[in-house]
Amino acid sequence: MNYYQHQLNNGLTIVGEHDENARSLAMGFFVRTGSRDESPEVNGVSHFLEHMMFKGTSNRTPDDVNREFDEMGARYNAFTSEENTVYYGNVLPQFQEKLQALLSDMMRPALREEDFDMEKNVILEEIAMYWDRPQFRVFEQLRESYYGDHPLGASILGSAQSIKDLSAQQMQKYFSQRYAANNLTLVLTGNFDWDKACADADKWCANWNTDDVPRELSDHKAVAKEERLADDKTNRAHIALMAPGFSAQDPKRIAAEVATEVIGASDGSHLYWALVHPGIAEAAQIGHDANDGDGTYCGYLLADPARSAEALNTFKKVIDNACKNGLKQNEVERAKRRLATNVLLGSETPMGRMRPLGMDQVYRKQYRSAQDLLEQIQAVSLKEVNELLAKSTFDAATVVILEPPITCR
């Protein structure tokens, strides 16, 4: 693999990991913006804007955008998170220029008011659809309860009211600032022509504006709490837990991933054998999420409401035992091998490498090859994992329980 990096005069960063043996290439624009960067008045605008980016430009109609992706045979999509919005495509190498031209043009959308008004209805339907899903609701409430007024507590979708109140002018203002060239990264992986990619970026992107694009990185003080929500539309108990973890810039995040792989991976973990195998819960998991300047352990339980208290108590006991007594060498090694397998399987395709390459640049301004990732996982020691667990943060966990009203049990 050969790694390349270049920056245009306006601050647009371009990074590439070239593999001459690849049969395809992947390309994406990573925008360092998400729900945490929104004010309450425009909550949900990042996700709404993601939809609007496919609604055409001054050069292309919405039909043109979709048709051109299809004519290339592209696999393409976009996603919005609390911290990033990413637009990407995967094509054969012969379509590099066409894909880059299309994605670059999309980054400067028309944002027509008639499209805005129509797409607002789509967003409202999406919000309603997700609120019909208990697992979505419990995690929405969990994030809001855990973070409170901290920016990471903002909803990605926004509320029905915030979307109804959002104006096209507010979206345009948000776009102009957050989609400034110095807040974007163009990422290429696979079999591409680097010199041409840089030349084309200069041709299509050099006139993009720059702006001040701050992000609030204030500390968050977690406080232990438990909340219950009643919903007569569900017959299961959905329990979600969040506790302080490690940021995307903290090297300890890797040991935290190893620890949660042992304790709470979907199959064969401590939680699986304590809860799922004996039938106390239908699902029991915990993982670690690293964000910009902050991180969390995040757990989930699905159980019969009649056994929800038992399931939650068992969940807490498993976590407490791991923190007090530590993990064993053989299970840590197994977890490291599973994580290493995931890295290797992902690195076998350009699409699999595009996201980690982009996130390394966005969060840490660094390059890590797949081999670097493997070595970092393999370097995690039993001592490091157990010392991390011994400094348990789960006593500051927020727990949210969504279940049927008690009269329905």
Task: Name the nearest CA neighbour of 159 among 121, 115, 128, 204.
Answer: 128
Count CB neighbours of 62 within 10 A. 15
CA 401/CA 238 separation, integer angstroms: 6
- Cα 191 from chain centroid (whole Å): 26
**Catalytic pick among 17, 50, 68, 331:** 50
Q: Is 139 helix (H, G, I), strand (E, B) or coil?
A: helix
**Three-class SS string for the chain?**
CEEEEEECCCCCEEEEEECCCCCCEEEEEEECCCHHHCCHHHCCHHHHHHHHCCCCCCCCCHHHHHHHHHHCCCEEEEEECCCCEEEEEEECHHHHHHHHHHHHHHCCCCCCHHHHHHHHHHHHHHHHHHHCCHHHHHHHHHHHHHHCCCHHHCCCCCCHHHHHHCCHHHHHHHHHHHCCHHHEEEEEEECCCHHHHHHHHHHHHCCCCCCCCCCCCCCCCCCCEEEEEECCCCCCEEEEEEEECCCCCCCHHHHHHHHHHHHHCCCCCHHHHHHHCCCCCCEEEEEEEEECCEEEEEEEEEECHHHHHHHHHHHHHHHHHHHHHCCCHHHHHHHHHHHHHHHHHHHCCHHHHHHHHHHHHHHHCCCCCHHHHHHHHHHCCHHHHHHHHHCCCHHHCEEEEEECCHHHC
Q: Measured between alpha carbons, how far is 158 from 24 in angstroms, rounded to an integer?
A: 36
Give the chain's radius of gyration (CA, Å). 22
Q: Are strands 13-18 and 2-7 parallel, antiparallel or unpaired?
A: antiparallel
**Known catalytic residue at 50:** yes
List Cα–Cα distances, 390 to 254, 318, 387, in angstroms: 16, 14, 5
Catalytic machinery residues: 50
